[in-house]
Amino acid sequence: MKLEINRNDKTPVYMQIAGQIKNMLHTGELTDGYMLPSERTLAKELGVHRNTVTRAYGELKSEGLLDSSQGSCYRVRFGRSAEDNSPDRRKNVNWEAAVKQEYDEFISDFDELYSESFDPAYISFAGGVAAREPYPPEEIAAVFEEMFRSSGDKAYFYVPYQGDPELIREIVKYMASIGIRTKPSNIQIFSENNQALDFILQLMLSPGDGVIVDEVMASDVYRTIELAGGKLITVPSDEHGMITDHLDKVIETSKPKFIYVDSSFNNPKGTVLSLERRRKILELSYQYRIPVIEDDESSEIYYGERPLPSIKSMDHGDNVIYMYSFSLNMVPGIGVSFVAADRKIIEQFSNMVSLRVANPDWAAQMVMLQYMKKGIFQERLADFRSICKSKRDRMCRRLDQLAGRYGLQYTKPEGGVYLWVKLPEHMDSRDLLRQAQKKGLTFMPGYVFFPRKQMGARYFRLNFSYPTEEEIEKGMDILEDCLCNWHKK
């Protein structure tokens, strides 16, 4: 069965595949009972995503032209009676084709590995989740009880679209403590930075607009940009963050809509954007009137000196849209983040929340308010840093041993919750992960952090905030065992 794909044809690729197979049925080239190639095999032959073939086969199956069994085994069903071919004479919906192609081809490797963070069968170094130890269950229970008892005349379970006003005032105070002066009218509360970024892009990004990003970045970020129709303009980085030496030329050539930076202890590398480069990005923002999206959620998780001032704190022209999430330093599972931006943007956010969320998370905002108003959150930050520093040091001690034996490379971060590790040549982190999973350990392979996917094979990311110290030791034992087995080959 020979198929050809015309990349210049506006007909969707899956329809080209389905159409050619139909023609082969009608010309007799394919007969009843003929077994088609598997989805994976045909996708490889044609150089397309596997889900594209799934959509094509689904289209033919919905028309009663294919039978399938065991998921991906397809046989031609053609020339039988109408009664046999379609008992009730109805055509089934092809749900594979009904889903937009950009979602159908969504790479879900990161999500599947992240989900394993909560599977008791695994020790997980995969998810970026806050440490559990600083927040004892009895304290959380007491906060919830007081939250309900003190609600007074407030309408249960509802907050304004912009967010709870009292929590916003606490956030303004908190921002002042980290050098950012703002007003309640410049704050919008969200559940997570991913949600905030999605709203920013939906509000301001048009299909085809470019976004300048680091060449290595959180997969949630670049997937959100791509699904919004944006074009990723990747810029190399080093141990001091995004390289800005030729950023002006990139801007003049590509005319981007935004510059996105994860400025402090970034995900996944744990690097900090230097002060010189922060100033350069802000200078270019003023020069070319380009908004900067600054993701700063890890800045307060430092283990030495307080990190550099945020870009937002140096921004006197209100060019920076600042995102901060409490997901890495608050009770795990309590989702609260916020955006600080020009008042016009905040007004539009509230309108969008009213249409797309309608009922913001009352409970999470009230818990956050209780912790901030009573000063508990600020006290717990010190505990959080101490606990995570101990976990980082424990994992790094083991990595130092493995580096000497097996040639691993990494840089010990001064903050954040991630370690970025490089393997020796000719070793792939996906192979290492497969071996580790068999023994009960998960982590993130490096390729999921590279938008272009062809890079990152020698890298992997470890999270040390969520696992206990005992789990860190057991997990590192597994990692060492896997490296030892590989080294013997």
Cα–Cα distance for residue pair 397/367, rounded to 1 Å: 36
For residue 120, the one-letter residue type is: P
| Domains annotated on the chain, with CATH | 13-104 (1.10.10.10), 109-128+384-488 (3.90.1150.10), 137-374 (3.40.640.10)
Give the pLDDT confidence score for residue 469 in this predicted structure. 95
| β-bridge mates for residue 7, sequence order | none
Give the pLDDT confidence score for residue 85 in this predicted structure. 47
In the chain, what is the straight-line distance between the N-terminal and C-terminal CA atoms, in Å? Answer: 40
| 68 pLDDT more than 50 | yes
Which has more pLDDT, 419 or 59?
419
| Gyration radius (Cα) of the chain, Å | 26
Nearest to 425 by CA among 412, 411, 444, 406: 406
Beta carbons of 415 and 298 less than 8 angstroms apart: yes
Cα–Cα distance for residue pair 413/486, rounded to 1 Å: 27
Beta-carbon contacts of residue 319 (< 8 Å; ≥ 6 apart): 282, 285, 286, 289, 290, 291, 292
| 489 pLDDT more than 70 | no
For residue 344, the one-letter residue type is: K
Least confident stretch, 64-73, 200-209, 280-289, 365-374:
64-73
Quickly count helices (H) and strands (E) in the chain. Answer: 18, 17
Query: Each residue of 417-469: pLDDT tens digit?
Result: 999 999 998 889 989 999 999 999 999 999 889 987 667 889 999 999 999 99
Q: Are strands 187-190 and 337-340 parallel, antiparallel or unpaired?
A: antiparallel
Lookup result for tokens 């840093």: 385
Beta carbons of 418 and 457 less than 8 angstroms apart: no
State whether residue 68 is helix, strand or coil: strand
Neighbours of 97 (CB within 10 A): 19
Q: What's this model's pTM, rounded to 2 decimal places?
A: 0.80
Longest dimension (CA), the chain: 78
Quote the DSSP letter at residue 35: B
pLDDT band at 30; cut points 50, 70, 90: confident
Both tokens of residue 87?
A: 């008992």
Cα–Cα distance for residue pair 476/479, rounded to 1 Å: 5
Nearest to 131 by CA among 325, 327, 268: 327
Both tokens of residue 274?
A: 């230097």
| 99 pLDDT more than 90 | no
State whether residue 383 is helix, strand or coil: helix
Residue 294 parent element (H or E): strand 292-295
Q: Write the DSSP assignment of 98-133 as a string of letters.
A: HS-HHHHT---HHHHHHHGGG-TTSEE--S----ST
For residue 325, the one-letter residue type is: S
Give the pLDDT confidence score for residue 462 in this predicted structure. 97
CA 217 vs CA 136, 241, 270, 318, 410: distances in Å: 33, 11, 11, 25, 17
Give the pLDDT confidence score for residue 153 in this predicted structure. 60
SS3 for 157-226, per residue? CCCCCCCCHHHHHHHHHHHHHCCCCCCHHHEEEECCHHHHHHHHHHHHCCCCCEEEEECCCCHHHHHHHH
Cα–Cα distance for residue pair 229/236, rounded to 1 Å: 22
State whether residue 419 is helix, strand or coil: strand
Give the pLDDT confidence score for residue 102 in this predicted structure. 65
| β-bridge mates for residue 35, sequence order | 75
Beta carbons of 452 and 437 less than 8 angstroms apart: no
Least confident stretch, 63-67, 200-204, 227-231:
63-67
Cα–Cα distance for residue pair 292/262, rounded to 1 Å: 11
Q: Strand runs (DSSP E) across 3-72, as ranges?
A: 66-69
